Amino acid sequence: MNTLRFPFDSIPEFGTVLPVAPGVYWLRMPLPLALNHINLYLLEDDDGWVIVDTGMGGEDIQRYWQQIFDGELSIDTVNRVIVTHMHPDHVGQSGWLCEKFAAPLFMTRAEFYAARVMYGIPEGLSWTTEQYMRRNASSEQRIEAARDSKFRMSHMVEPIPMAYNRMRAGDVIQIGGRDWEVMVGEGHSPEHACLYCAETGVLLSGDQIIASITSNVSVMPMEPEANPLADWLRTLKEFLVLPEDTLVLPSHNRPFFGLHERIDQLVTHHEDHMLALEQACVSAKTLPELLPVIFKRTLDDSQLGMAQGECIAHLHLLMDRGLLQRELREDGIYWYQTMDADLPGKSLSDSYRGDDAPQMV
Ligand SMILES: [Zn+2]
């Protein structure tokens, strides 16, 4: 059963805004992905505006921002730039916006420092990343491609501001006479901020809760033994304390009602993925053999890293639950095998079909 409701028929064109709640305007910026947009929000403050998330780096996005500043809201004062998390579509224009308006940046501590690290990583292949790739049975060709790659994360963002104001879970920020409480989700990124206004019943959910896609939850080479799916599921359930009639304003796709239903769907989605992997691991498997269990489409090179990271995240939570064992064999590759005595009695939910491909956000 899917009872999500989408209250807005129209979607804002790039460079325009749409009012969606008292003092809240919705806008979109393009993304160069299959998922072709990010949602950003403008909050009306007493004597200016607060920007929530900023779009990818690049001049195209800056032109759309300028259209918005010159448009119906005629924005000439920005009091704060709030960034939910460190991914490039969210933090990308923070440096440009903070500079332009001499506005302070607001982020959680882990997100700010993660951003400063991520966008400073040099090109080339570290031995730790190479080890991660080899243990997960990446092809020689992919390892060589990674070694030769000139790609750097810093190409996706404007320079990150040199200073920030720390937000933490439970903080209350006053914007336009209303209280917005900071809620933190983990697993998609280290300390992802969401903002909840009880007075108007609005949740700015970022990438934590999105209607029709599941955010990427990945084990990355920088922390190869991480267990981000445990963090993700634990913090996701904390949002169940909010009322069911909360208007959820996410970073992708459309605003919706049906918060509790959506959280249930997300939990079920990941539990099903884990069970499908367990079933596949009745005989020992390597990572490349497990990707088709949860991703039904043939993956291209651009999707493979995210797919691997996401698959490993599910395997690590199974290991943490004592349901799966991992063995580093003489071939230098991890092999996974189920050790769940109750497996025969478990079944996937009726709705389970796996995913087409990993989400790139
Ligand atoms: Zn994200």
**What pLDDT digit, counting tens, does each position of 280-304 carry?**
999 999 999 999 999 988 888 888 9
277-345 topology per CATH: Arc Repressor Mutant, subunit A (1.10.10)
Tokens at 293, concatenated? 């269990």
CA 84–ligand 1 middle distance (angstroms): 9
Low-confidence ranges of the chain (pLDDT < 50): none
**91 CA to centre of ligand 1 in angstroms:** 10
Q: What is the pTM of this model?
A: 0.95
pLDDT at 239: 98
CA-closest candidate to residue 203, choices 212, 191, 193, 217: 193
What is the whole-number distance in angstroms between the Cα of residue 215 and the centre of ligand 1? 7
Domain boundaries, the chain: 18-119+157-257, 277-345
% of the chain at pLDDT higher than 90: 89
Compute, in angstroms, the gap from residue 86 CA to the centroid of ligand 1: 7
Ligand 1 centroid from CA 197, angstroms: 22
Distance from Cα 345 to the centre of ligand 1, integer Å:
36
Distance between Cα 114 and ligand 1 center (Å): 13
CA 231 to ligand 1 centroid distance, Å:
15
Alpha carbon of 188 to ligand 1 centroid (Å): 6
Ion ligand 1: residues, CB < 5 A: 87, 207
CATH of the structural domain 18-119+157-257, one choice from 3.60.15.10, 3.60.40.10, 1.10.357.10, 3.30.360.10 = 3.60.15.10
pLDDT for res 302: 83
pLDDT reported for residue 1: 58
